[in-house]
Amino acid sequence: MGIKTVGESSIRVIQPEGAGHGPEALAREAAQRFTDLAREAVDSRGRFSVALSGGSTPAALYGLLAEEPCRAQIPWAQVYLFWGDERCVPPDHPDSNYRLAHETLISHVPIPSANVYRMRGEIEPHLAARVYERALQDFFCGPRSRFDLVLLGLGNDGHTASLFPNSAALHERERLAVAVEASYQDRPVRRVTLTLPALNTARHVLFLVTGSAKAGIVRAVLEGPKGHLPAQQIRPTAGQIVWMLDREAASQLRGLG
Ligand code: 6PG
């Protein structure tokens, strides 16, 4: 495992263990980190608030959290699940980030349904964003969120959550959640996303990125010119970022991979 510090981010490159593959070794490491952070948060603050990532990468992590030993180690009654973003589709739609988490994690663990804060992708997006922001402010008892952990992925264009390049959502400094209309991989996307004010107050941010297809954008984000890619604007004001990369995703980084 390689560790490198880039500014305020520490990058951990998870090397495959034995015959394991990059993504599986990464998921195991991420599951252990999730479990450790959950126990630490509950021990010290009585609850653990986490914003789950969308996309496909975290599915292996979610599955491990639903299995032993993690399942028994995590204090599910004090865990509160949120999402970093959601597609504007119903919760049973194949593209739904909630559906992925429900199928791989939520339906397999004893988390109270009241602890699961789903973004309502099925309603009008601006309303869904307002409703979600109010739920966050009620949960955090004030105008700002302070997640114990935010899980994030990385798109091929440098987006994270649903903060896409050149998106007005990147410039939002007040709202905690907004509706997004963008284009990704030549397809229009309609999303609800947390904003930088909601993400950059996290205690811990964990990026999970796997595969050689992401190696170029990983290098651009971590070693390229600063500031123009959305993922580069994830800079917790009082928190820590860890990039968990498998060997393929880290393969273009200088000095790592
Ligand atoms: C989403 C995610 C998005 C995702 C990246 C990576 O809803 O799609 O929030 O930011 O994390 O696009 O997606 P993959 O893990 O599928 O590569």
Residue type, 229: L
* 55 touches ligand 1 (CB under 6 Å): yes
CATH pick for 2-246 out of 3.30.720.200, 1.10.645.10, 3.40.50.1360, 3.60.150.10? 3.40.50.1360
H/E run at residue 218: helix 215-223
Q: What is the DSSP string of 42-55?
A: HHHHS-EEEEE--S
Q: Is 8 helix (H, G, I), strand (E, B) or coil?
A: coil
State the pLDDT at residue 4: 72
Q: What's the gap in Å between 192 CA and the centre of ligand 1? A: 13
* 84 touches ligand 1 (CB under 6 Å): yes
- Nearest in space to 48 (alpha carbons), one of 76, 26, 27, 68: 76
- Nearest in space to 92 (alpha carbons), one of 62, 116, 118: 118
Q: Is 207 helix (H, G, I), strand (E, B) or coil?
A: strand
CA–CA distance, 111 with 7 (Å, rounded to integer)? 36
Across the range 55-72, mean pLDDT stands at 97
Cis amide linkage into residue 69, ω under 30° from 0: yes
Q: What's the gap in Å between 55 CA and the centre of ligand 1? A: 3
- Nearest in space to 58 (alpha carbons), one of 179, 151, 180: 151
Q: How does residue 23 score in pLDDT terms, banded at 50, 70 and 90? A: confident
**257, pLDDT greater than 50:** no
Contacts 24+ apart (CB under 8 A), 125-131: 125/88, 125/179, 125/180, 125/190, 125/191, 125/192, 126/178, 126/179, 128/86, 128/88, 128/179, 128/192, 129/175, 129/177, 129/178, 129/179, 129/192, 130/177
**5, pLDDT greater than 90:** no
Q: Which atom of ligand 1 is nearest to the CA of 156?
A: 12
Q: Which of 154, 218, 221 to mutate to test the pocket of ligand 1 (most atoms within 8 A of CB)?
A: 154
Q: What is the DSSP string of 96-108?
A: -HHHHHHHHTGGG
CA–CA distance, 244 with 61 (Å, rounded to integer)? 12
pLDDT in tens, 188-218: 999 999 999 999 999 999 999 999 999 999 9
* 160 touches ligand 1 (CB under 6 Å): yes
* 54 touches ligand 1 (CB under 6 Å): yes
State the pLDDT at residue 75: 98
Whole-model pTM: value is 0.95
CA-based max dimension of the chain? 49
Residues 30, 208 contacting (CB under 8 angstroms): yes
**12, pLDDT greater than 90:** no
Q: Is 125 helix (H, G, I), strand (E, B) or coil?
A: helix
Q: Which atom of ligand 1 is nearest to the CA of 153?
A: 11
Residue listed under structure tokens 């959502």: 169
* 97 touches ligand 1 (CB under 6 Å): yes
Q: What's the gap in Å between 188 CA and the centre of ligand 1? A: 15
**Phi first, then psi: what are they for 160, rounded to 5°?**
-145, 150
CA–CA distance, 251 with 150 (Å, rounded to integer)? 25
Q: Which atom of ligand 1 is nearest to the CA of 214?
A: 17
* 161 touches ligand 1 (CB under 6 Å): yes
Q: Which of 10-14, 169-173, 212-216, 251-255 is predicted least confidently?
A: 10-14
Q: Which atom of ligand 1 is nearest to the CA of 86?
A: 7
Q: What's the gap in Å between 106 CA and the centre of ligand 1? A: 19
**77, pLDDT greater than 90:** yes
pLDDT in tens, 88-102: 999 999 999 999 999
Q: Which atom of ligand 1 is nearest to the CA of 184?
A: 12
